[in-house]
Structure 1
Amino acid sequence: MIRKNIITLAILGLVATTTVSATEMTEPAGSAVNMLSDLQDVSDVNYINAGYLVEDNAAPPSLSEIKTQVLDLGKRYFIDFSNIATEDAKNKAKDKLRKSIGVFLSGDMIIISPYKGELMFSLLDGIDDPNITLLEAQPKRASRSKRSAPLLSSSDNTIPNMAFYLNAYRRISDDECNLTFNTYQGPIKSRQMCNNGHISLIYKVNLQRSLRYGTQGSATPDAKIVRIGIDDSTQGTGIHLNDAVEKRLLAMRGIEWPLGGDEAELVTTAIARSYDFNFDASNNKASILRTVPASNLNANYNHKEVSTFNFGISGGVEVNKDGPKGKLDVNASWSESKWLTFDTRDYRVERSTHGAKHVEFKWARQQYPNAESIKKTTIHGYTAGLVLPADTSKVNSIGYESFTPKMEVIYKAAPTETGTTTLSVDSAVDITGFRYYTNVTGFFGVRTYYSKDSDNQVKHINNKVSFVVDWDHPVFTGGRPVNLQLASFNNKCIAGDYLNKLSAKTCNEDNFQQAFIYNKVGQFVSAQNTKLCLDGENLNQLGTCGANLSQRWTWKEGTNQLQNVFTQEYLGHNKTTGDLIMAAGPTSTISTDWYSAYVNVFKQSSVHRN
């Protein structure tokens, strides 16, 4: 109970904006109780029982709120959907969280933790998943400001970009690693072919909008962009099978002199026949724009490659004199580069595809591919100890120890695309062992070693992670979110709610319900729901975005007044109540002055909190 109370107290303030009890939402339930009880220190855990998100009046944490908690305050989130009884209810809760933070990892138990200055999403696959240790409290640092640099430098913070990491981790059990081989005694299962086997890869993901900019032939694409990959800045510990190639005995029988015959059956510890990485999209909304590598690579290929992508952007105040009052208009290009170092050694890299949505990269063993290729001629008396008749130095460690691939896949979607797409990354290793056997020559008692490549056994071990991309997320508009602050009040801004109703609330730069994208036609598009706009014909709630001129607004030059294109009236507010109203001009009770500033939808809070 002590630990559960710690978890509850850690985030009582996170859901205070709802009528759902914060204590109920943050109280561990079901399997989570035992999973958390196995940890030493859960004081940094923000547990959310997602069952309460099914209720209409329950608000999930925003992306900015999660980033502030995780990146600035050192917390970790455990979001638990496992206690929701029906799939419909579960999907409702997941959709609500996805719309709030812009992305969702497919699964019922999700951990959000810090990694290199950004959020990392990990999936818990059952009560024994070792990823649960990511929730352990870490030693406090003297200053959170000294954390690792984020995926974008501070100079690039004006560019709408959502970045995070995917943690693809699973253990490879002894049973999974051990193969069954055909011996003179019949099928025999090997033992201890792996030592601390695991798949541990961290994929970097960027969501961004590119606007068309430049001349034909060199123009940047007009598309919604998702970049997924492993570059030199992130990798995880890799795919690990063993620390060395060693001998394992499968079967043995004594040979009495002067008899002879088959004596021992041997196999090496696990070696990777191949490593496979499959990227796939669930529907035709997304297609592959570019990959690195772009083609096949030979064995012993050693090269450091730079992957540069050029975006067309609306550069904000740096290139737009109007600052937050400026409409979304492409006016600059921006390049992002990633370094990928390839060192293929014994493996060739095969790139293949099954269509525009899919690509596979396979590191296929080419050099020293079997037992015969590394066999040493070994003959000695049968009373000597058994050895592994192989030159194991020919097997580079890339074949068994902490292998990390380098690759990138860039998906694009049309600028008008809506809905969602599930993108998946399947990381796999095909495990084998090099087979040998011995034969003793009758009367002479000479032991001779032979390869046995005909006994070709392989096991496929994989880890698949999937995440849902919401093409309606405001990051894909390409615009920097702004707020609309009432000039007659010290600290009031226009805010929506989960029923899309509008009112004046205390300004909060981290609240996406107060954020709008001022697009190129003059609409104020809600960052909470990019299908909704501020409409002068109904200021009580947001309206469905369309061609209505009543949804178009212009800042009157030299003033702080917003004029409606259709009515030619000004957006106003009651100086006493803050109620929104259309007005021909200011009066003793109505103000038509507004202030606008950039707000923090994609980043952690810039407001210092103790």
Structure 2
Amino acid sequence: MKRKFNLLLIAVSSVLSANIWASEFDEPAGAAINILSALQDSSAVIYINAENLVSENSTPPTLSQVKTQVLVENKRYLIDFSNIEHETEKNITRAKLRRSLGLLTLGDMVIISEHKGKLLFSQLESSDDTNLKRLEYKPKSRRVKKSISPLAEVDNSIPRVAFYIEAKRTISDAACNPTWNTYQGPVKSTGMCDNAHISLIYQVMLQRSLPFGTQGSATPDAKIVRIAIDDSTTGAGIQLNQNFDNILLHTRGIPWPEGGDEHEMVTTALAQSYDFNFNASNEKARILRTVPKSNLNKNYTNREISTFSFGVVAGGEASSDGAKGKLEASANWTESKWLSFETNDYRVDRHSNGPQHVGFEWAREQYPTAESVMVTTIHGYTAGITLPVDESRINKMGHASFLPKMEVIYSAAPDATGNTKFNIDSTVDITGFRYMTNVTPFFGVRTYYAKDDDHQVNSVNKNINFVVDWDHPVFTGGRPVNLQLGGFKNKCLAIDTQQQISAKECDEYDNQQAFIYSQDGHYISAYNTEYCLDSTDLTQAQSCNFSLTQKWSWEEKANQDNLKSAHLDHYLTHDKQTEKLSMTASTQSEASLSTKMYTRYVNVFDASTVETNSYK
């Protein structure tokens, strides 16, 4: 049974130390019941049963609502698709959320939490998933408020949507340890890893670049998806173990004066390679640029700056038209990211199998074998076992908290529609250095040997993906505005999920009240960019086309702003009592009507999350 969409605010009783569900909201269903009841404090969780979004009349939360609740009110979202049986219905709900938020990671349960002042998307795959901790209530840390420079204020006017997505998994002992070939047959090691995990946070930014500038220095005309792990967005990294040691695989006592093979051993885990692959699901997106742009040698150390120039629409600060200005590039906006590289024993190989794919592999090149790190060790067989390794040749990058740095920029055509799924795969190939000992008969001398012929590797990966909606209003490049009725104190036009037009109390964070004023004079709905304000029917938005009935311009008469349609040069008019919209030939109409209109910028997109270099 489809129920009315609600947000479930999960309350925890301070008296009963158990979860009590508020009766006026839908209760969690299916696996969510156990997941949420396992939390120590679920009071900050907003639970969405996506089953309730299947209905045509249901409305998902807006980006501004989610930002306010997560970033300001210290809430967390749990979006649950697991109760939807049919994949077609899952796709409906995902499309709604993607249209509202701009981006959505795939998975049956998605957590939205805060990371560095932005939204972080994480997948919840089981009741013992380590990401479950992100749902626990934690008091918000006090942060020192920084002064906002004029440059930062300008930065807030640049339309973009920025998120973080998380690649996180625990590496179990079974996944870490290979099976080795010993003189007694196959033996699976244990304990090569300790607190092993993949924990990386990727930053994703969606933005439109408009053509601006002269040939040779012009900015691209493209829709941009920028994915990066830079110096500010790393996560905990990839860890196999903290300390380097040896593990016995097999041993046998050898009585004097006998001799022979004695101990089989392997070191704790090392990364043979780290490999990161980015892939777009269709030809709508193509790789525009990457960092690193080519291969890197071992022992390479450098801090690189990655800059990208966008053509943008300047806000009121740089345009006399302000919010009444049409969508046209009027500035070059340059953004920068810092990426530090320290490759040590690893070289970095950039590889690609086409314009939609790129990969970066950190491959161990220096000291790659047991023989290459071995020190000659000979002693009596009654002495204790040692690790025959020069540990100065084992850099912690190979086993403790490796932090990769990279950036991939995808571009799509300015008229691209539909969506593209982006996959990010983070893989570590786990191995260890193999050694054995042999005791010389009669003399009882123990000698250590490298056993590189027994080279075993276990691959462990974490794949994450997200879908980008190319029809999202951020890709128009326009800064959203509202349309306020001058005959009322606080009423703005809004277009709902059924494209019906009404007047609502003005809310700068409501994307149903947001419009993009295009270069052609269209007022495109920021809630659904397929629909425009059309003078032939002011009760419902119409599919955008090139009709003059959808072309609007601003005209000032008698010290008031009026919105005029190119069709018959009539003015948008509203009844000051009923709010009904109409078109009139003159701004001097009867007392009950008004053609007076206002427009201002609204805040339905995210501000920048990257360092800004210039605005010129």
The verdict on a shared fold, with TM-score over 0.5 as the criterion, is yes
Q: Distance in 1 between matches of 2:147 and 2:468?
A: 26
**Which of 588, 595, 600 is equivalent to 2:598?**
595
Shift of 1:341: 0.5
Q: Distance in 2 between matches of 1:386 and 1:328?
A: 73
Aligned to 1:447: 446
Q: Distance in 2 between matches of 1:275 and 1:194?
A: 16
Give the fraction of aligned pairs with identical amino acids, expressed as a percent. Answer: 59
Paired amino acid for 1:570: Y
1:34-113 to 2 correspondences below 5 Å: 34-113=34-113
Shift of 1:153: 3.9
1:407-422 to 2 correspondences below 5 Å: 407-422=406-421
1:105-124 to 2 correspondences below 5 Å: 105-124=105-124
Q: Distance in 2 between matches of 1:481 and 1:527?
A: 7
Q: How many residues get paired? A: 587
Aligned to 1:16: none
* Secondary structure class of the residue paired with 2:538: strand
Aligned to 1:18: none
Shift of 1:90: 1.2
Whether contact under 8 Å (1:26, 1:48) holds in the other structure is: no
Q: Distance in 2 between matches of 1:316 and 1:9?
A: 38
Whether contact under 8 Å (1:116, 1:148) holds in the other structure is: no
Shift of 1:148: 12
Shift of 1:485: 0.8
Q: Deviations over 1:463-503 (max 9, x none)?
A: 01100001000111111111111111111111111110111
Paired amino acid for 1:76: R
Paired amino acid for 1:69: Q
Q: Distance in 1 between matches of 2:173 and 2:202?
A: 26
Aligned to 1:479: 478
Q: Deviations over 1:322-380 (max 9, x none)?
A: 11111111111010000001000000000010000000000000000010001110111
Paired amino acid for 1:224: K
TM-score where L is the length of structure 1: 0.94
Shift of 1:149: 10
Aligned to 1:372: 371
Aligned to 2:511: 512
Whether contact under 8 Å (1:25, 1:49) holds in the other structure is: no
Whether contact under 8 Å (1:117, 1:149) holds in the other structure is: no
Q: Distance in 1 between matches of 2:25 and 2:406?
A: 40
Aligned to 2:612: none
Whether contact under 8 Å (2:181, 2:187) holds in the other structure is: yes
* Secondary structure class of the residue paired with 2:294: coil
* Secondary structure class of the residue paired with 1:77: strand
Paired amino acid for 2:189: S
Relative distance call for 1:262 and 1:291 in structure 2 (3 A) is same
Shift of 1:433: 0.5
1:121-270 to 2 correspondences below 5 Å: 121-141=121-141, 146=145, 153-270=152-269
Paired amino acid for 2:599: S
Aligned to 1:15: none
Whether contact under 8 Å (2:154, 2:317) holds in the other structure is: no
* Secondary structure class of the residue paired with 1:577: coil
Shift of 1:230: 0.5
| Stretch deviating more after TM superposition (588-597 or 350-359) | 588-597
Q: Distance in 1 between matches of 2:334 and 2:438?
A: 64
Q: Distance in 2 between matches of 1:527 and 1:371?
A: 60
Aligned to 2:314: 315
Shift of 1:40: 1.2
Relative distance call for 1:432 and 1:141 in structure 2 (3 A) is closer
Aligned to 1:335: 334
Shift of 1:540: 1.3
Paired amino acid for 2:595: T
* Secondary structure class of the residue paired with 2:223: strand
Q: Distance in 2 between matches of 1:242 and 1:538?
A: 66
Q: Distance in 1 between matches of 2:147 and 2:256?
A: 68
Whether contact under 8 Å (2:247, 2:265) holds in the other structure is: yes
TM-score where L is the length of structure 2: 0.93
- RMSD, matched Cα: 1.9
Q: Deviations over 1:441-471 (max 9, x none)?
A: 1111111100000001001100011000010
Shift of 1:259: 1.3
Whether contact under 8 Å (1:158, 1:480) holds in the other structure is: yes
Whether contact under 8 Å (2:159, 2:606) holds in the other structure is: no
Q: Distance in 1 between matches of 2:348 and 2:534?
A: 54
Relative distance call for 1:393 and 1:141 in structure 2 (3 A) is closer
* Secondary structure class of the residue paired with 2:69: helix
1:566-585 to 2 correspondences below 5 Å: 566-585=567-586
Aligned to 2:16: none
Whether contact under 8 Å (1:8, 1:23) holds in the other structure is: no
Whether contact under 8 Å (2:202, 2:228) holds in the other structure is: yes
Q: Deviations over 1:415-437 (max 9, x none)?
A: 00000001111011000010000
Q: Distance in 2 between matches of 1:135 and 1:457?
A: 38
Whether contact under 8 Å (1:35, 1:127) holds in the other structure is: yes
Whether contact under 8 Å (1:248, 1:266) holds in the other structure is: yes
Aligned to 1:525: 524
Paired amino acid for 1:583: T
Q: Distance in 2 between matches of 1:141 and 1:171?
A: 27
